[in-house]
């Protein structure tokens, strides 16, 4: 038996590049660079567009300054957390040996490069979010100006979607350059440091999602409760002190947060496929294929973006967007077939990619069905609003719960395709599952573009309304874009949730492989390391894992409620102390509400972050590595179900409100509308805070488990050390939870 050595995630992969392998790798890098350049070119064209009237520019500047102030504070907070985590990651470094047991990378070297990759992943994720937000707050006023100047959907859609595409193309470009660049530099040892890159991206996504989500929904809920419900004024009325903060929140939550979220999904999906590629087939072509398909997707996404153009025959802006999505998907499918057939030399890998693209389209359809104003669920929720807020809330929750079933079924079908392609071989099956994830996110450039289009269109309507330009065809165009934007945001959330599950499954496989390496097992490690739910430790860990999604959601929603309470009090104070606000003789103090939301989002960030990072530590060291596997399995399942329920229920409530505002049931100001506003208010933290944040939560816990696994196994016999670490992590998490349960701010006078 060979001597015991520490092996990192994926281990040393003894492949050798042949023929065109390196050429393909350079093509991948070039495709990533093209994606970045295309995004920058779109940014230039967006910034060159007309900014409208002086009043519109003034409002847009206020939104821009608020968003940049928030992100500046957010990044400072994150930096405080990243530094100790980087130190901890260094000590997770493991010795890497080749097939001859020669040391390729020492533990200290591996730890150092993991830290470097961790910081690069965090920086890329943060950069994607920042540029996306920065472009969005400039694109909103230009979209509004286009609608005012032309009174046509075509021109406004063009500006709004290309603004979103800046984020989309930079996301995939940076992700591909990062993953392929690290692979090119480290080659056979790449998978041992790529996990650091993935963790950096995931951590930033979690922070951006939670922090941005708390900000945006605290402002949104506060604005709705005092403005629409109490004062009876329109959604984006400039007399509401929370209006600017609400518009700021759209950008920091949906643009910056979603960009970081899908960036990390994109990166993790690629990395998991790289880890499994060579292990499954022993061929360098299988290793490179997961990089080539995203490269194709980048080019296809660029073509799809430029193809989005409204026609006179279109019923709404969703039709031209869908044409762009279908075009990019078809290009990806056709090109993938030829690469699979003539480079890899088999069609099964193509079928896996095809299943992933199919899953993306199916997930989009399911989400669109449950959240679109054109579909039955939204219309039924609007109908239920005729009998009051209670039935509105009940109807939305029911459709959210139902949507989870269909979303899970679509993922089951995709995973079944992977099982069929694997033919009973576990490693082959898992490789095909990872390729399904690659197919799912192959057109991530279009997916992120769709998502970022949502807050841009929402903000453009707000800018126009606050500037007094919201009337006639301008209102019709911008309201239509806003409704479609709500649907595209919901659709992309559905795809993001699906990608999180697929990526988590692949990461879970890496977890088992890593455990096998650490235990020096040979042969099929999946047979030798079964996770037995009948084992009391594993069952307990499963219960904890299953409950984490519920606790995390509760923390996020409570944070929104507490922060919204403070906003409500501030807006009420301004109305009470400055009565001239209502007749426009006094100006609201927008900055105070922005400051409240910024401070609240940073204060509330700590507990969810500690829960995600330390819960796997407590379970792993306290109950063992097999129990940790049970914890992850349960967390993946419940996290997916909860994410779909929250996101789709919230999206359905939002569009039911807009359906009523278009004239159903009496329109704006009616009792039916007031009931729908209550439903939308309940749904806001569901769809924009808790639901989306569950995606990075799942992957952060998976990656933390991977990083600590070698230490967990080596300390198995040192019960004192194990239990000490587990107890310390548990105490910190429990203390943070108790702190988060401090009294909610009263919303009364």
Mean local confidence (pLDDT), 327-337: 94
- How many Å apart are CA 718 and CA 276, to the nearest integer? 32
- Does residue 284 carry a pLDDT above 70? yes
Instruction: Tell me the average pLDDT of the chain.
Output: 84
Residue 598's pLDDT is what?
83
**How is residue 431 written in tokens?**
């490789």
Please report which confidence band the pLDDT of residue 2 belongs to, taking 50, 70 and 90 as the band edges.
very low
User: Can you tell me the mean pLDDT for 82-102?
Assistant: 83
pLDDT above 50: residue 48: yes
Report the pLDDT value the prediction gives residue 1, as an integer from 0 to 100: 31
Mean pLDDT of 79-99: 83
More confident residue, 150 or 237: 150
Confidence (pLDDT) at 524: 67
Q: For 569-608, how does the pLDDT look when each residue is reduced to its tens digit (9 = 90+)?
A: 888 888 888 888 888 888 888 888 888 888 877 777 788 8
What is the number of residues in the chain?
749
Q: Which residues pair with 105 in a beta bridge?
A: 96
Confidence class of residue 747 from pLDDT cuts 50, 70 and 90? Answer: very low
Q: Which DSSP state fits 97? A: E
- Examine the pLDDT at 280 and tell me if it is beyond 80: no
pTM > 0.85: yes or no: no
| Mean predicted confidence (pLDDT) in 35-43 | 93
168 neighbors 679 (Cβ within 8 angstroms): no
Q: Is the pLDDT of residue 748 over 50?
A: no
At 594 the pLDDT is: 84
- 708 CB-near residues (< 8 Å, 6+ apart): 92, 616, 617, 620, 621
More confident residue, 518 or 708: 708
Specify the DSSP class assigned to residue 104: E
Instruction: Work out the pLDDT band at 434, boundaries 50, 70, 90.
Output: confident
Q: Which of 168-172, 203-207, 297-301, 715-719 has the highest mean pLDDT?
A: 297-301
More confident call, 720 vs 17: 720
Record the tokens describing residue 9, joined without a space: 């995630």
Residue-level pLDDT at 745 = 45
How confident is the model at residue 621, as a pLDDT? Answer: 93
Q: Taking the CA of residue 544 as centre, how many other CA atoms within 13 Å lie in the half-sphere pointing to its CB?
A: 25
The residue among 694, 699, 696, 729 whose CA lies nearest residue 712 is 729
CB neighbours of 426 closer than 8 A, spacing ≥ 6? 524, 526
- Is residue 241 within 8 Å of residue 589, measured between CB atoms? yes
For residue 5, pLDDT beyond 60: no
Task: Name the nearest CA neighbour of 175 among 278, 71, 28, 287.
Answer: 28
pLDDT digits (tens, 9 = 90+) for 8-29: 345 677 777 777 888 888 899 9
Residue among 564, 612, 549, 706 nearest 207 (CA) = 612
pLDDT at 235: 67
pLDDT at residue number 345:
86
At residue 525, the 3 state secondary structure works out as helix
- pLDDT score recorded for residue 526: 67
Q: Is the pLDDT of residue 221 over 70?
A: yes
Q: Which residue has the higher pLDDT, 680 or 188?
A: 680
């Amino acid at each position: 038996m060979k001597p015991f050595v520490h092996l990192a995630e994926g281990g040393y992969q003894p492949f050798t590049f042949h023929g065109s392998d390196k050429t393909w790798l350079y093509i991948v890098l070039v495709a990533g660079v093209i994606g970045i350049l295309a995004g920058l070119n779109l940014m230039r064209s967006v910034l060159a567009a007309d900014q409208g009237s002086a009043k519109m520019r003034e409002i847009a500047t206020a939104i821009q300054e608020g968003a940049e102030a928030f992100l500046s504070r957010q990044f400072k907070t994150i930096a405080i957390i990243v530094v100790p985590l980087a130190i901890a990651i260094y000590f997770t470094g493991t010795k890497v040996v080749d097939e001859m047991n020669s040391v390729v990378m020492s533990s200290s070297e591996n730890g150092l490069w993991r830290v470097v990759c961790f910081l690069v992943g965090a920086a890329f994720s943060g950069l994607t979010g920042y540029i996306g937000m920065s472009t969005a707050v400039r694109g909103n006023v230009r979209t509004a100006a286009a609608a005012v100047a032309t009174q046509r959907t075509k021109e406004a859609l063009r500006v709004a979607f290309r603004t979103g595409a800046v984020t989309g193309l930079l996301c995939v470009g940076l992700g591909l350059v990062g993953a392929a660049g690290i692979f090119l530099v480290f080659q056979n040892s790449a998978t041992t440091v790529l996990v650091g890159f993935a963790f950096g991206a995931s951590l930033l996504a979690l922070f951006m999602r939670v922090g941005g989500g708390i900000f945006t929904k605290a402002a949104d809920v506060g604005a709705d409760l005092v403005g629409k419900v109490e004062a009876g004024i329109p959604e984006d009325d400039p007399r509401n002190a929370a209006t600017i903060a609400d518009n700021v929140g759209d950008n920091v939550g949906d643009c910056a947060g979603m960009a970081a979220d899908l960036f990390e999904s994109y990166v993790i999906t690629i990395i998991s496929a790289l880890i499994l590629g060579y292990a499954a087939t022993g061929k360098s072509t299988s290793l490179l294929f997961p990089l080539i398909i995203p490269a194709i997707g980048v080019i296809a996404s660029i073509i799809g973006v430029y193809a989005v153009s409204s026609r006179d025959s279109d019923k709404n802006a969703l039709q031209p967007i869908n044409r762009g999505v279908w075009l990019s998907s078809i290009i990806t499918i056709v090109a993938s077939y030829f690469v699979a057939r003539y480079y890899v030399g088999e069609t099964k890998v193509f079928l896996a990619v095809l299943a992933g693209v199919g899953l993306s389209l199916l997930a989009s359809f399911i989400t669109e069905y449950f959240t679109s104003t054109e579909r039955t669920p939204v219309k039924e929720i609007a109908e239920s609003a005729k009998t009051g807020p209670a039935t509105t809330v009940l109807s939305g929750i029911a459709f959210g719960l139902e949507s989870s079933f269909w979303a899970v079924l679509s993922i089951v079908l995709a995973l079944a395709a992977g099982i069929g392609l694997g033919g009973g071989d576990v490693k082959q099956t898992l490789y095909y599952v990872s390729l399904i994830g690659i197919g799912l996110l192959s057109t991530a450039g279009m997916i992120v573009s769709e998502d970022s289009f949502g807050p841009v269109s929402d903000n453009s309507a707000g800018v126009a309304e606050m500037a007094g330009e919201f009337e006639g065809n301008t209102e019709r165009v911008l309201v239509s874009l806003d409704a479609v934007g709500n649907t595209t945001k919901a659709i992309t959330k559905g795809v993001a949730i699906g990608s999180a599950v697929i990526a988590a499954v692949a990461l879970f496989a890496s977890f088992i492989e890593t455990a096998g390496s650490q235990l020096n097992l040979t042969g099929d490690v999946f047979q030798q390391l079964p996770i037995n739910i009948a084992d009391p430790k594993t069952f307990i860990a499963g219960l904890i894992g299953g409950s984490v999604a519920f606790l995390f959601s509760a923390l996020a929603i409570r944070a929104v409620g507490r922060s919204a309470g403070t906003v409500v009090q501030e807006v009420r104070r301004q109305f009470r102390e400055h009565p001239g606000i209502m007749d426009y003789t006094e100006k609201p103090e927008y900055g105070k509400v922005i400051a409240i939301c910024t401070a609240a989002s940073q204060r509330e960030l700590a507990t969810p972050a500690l829960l995600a990072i330390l819960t796997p530590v407590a379970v792993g060291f306290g109950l063992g590595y097999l129990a940790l596997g049970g914890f992850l399995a349960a967390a993946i399942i419940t996290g997916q179900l909860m994410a779909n329920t929250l996101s789709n229920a919230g999206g359905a409530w939002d569009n039911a409100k807009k359906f009523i505002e278009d004239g159903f049931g009496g329109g704006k100001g009616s009792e039916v509308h007031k009931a729908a506003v209550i439903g939308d208010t309940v749904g806001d933290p569901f769809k924009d805070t808790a639901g989306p944040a569950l995606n990075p939560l799942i992957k952060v816990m998976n990656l933390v488990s991977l990083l600590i696994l070698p230490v967990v196994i080596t300390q198995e016999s040192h019960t004192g050390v194990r239990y000490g670490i587990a107890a310390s992590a548990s105490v910190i998490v429990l203390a943070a939870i108790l702190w988060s349960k401090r009294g909610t701010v009263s919303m009364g006078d």
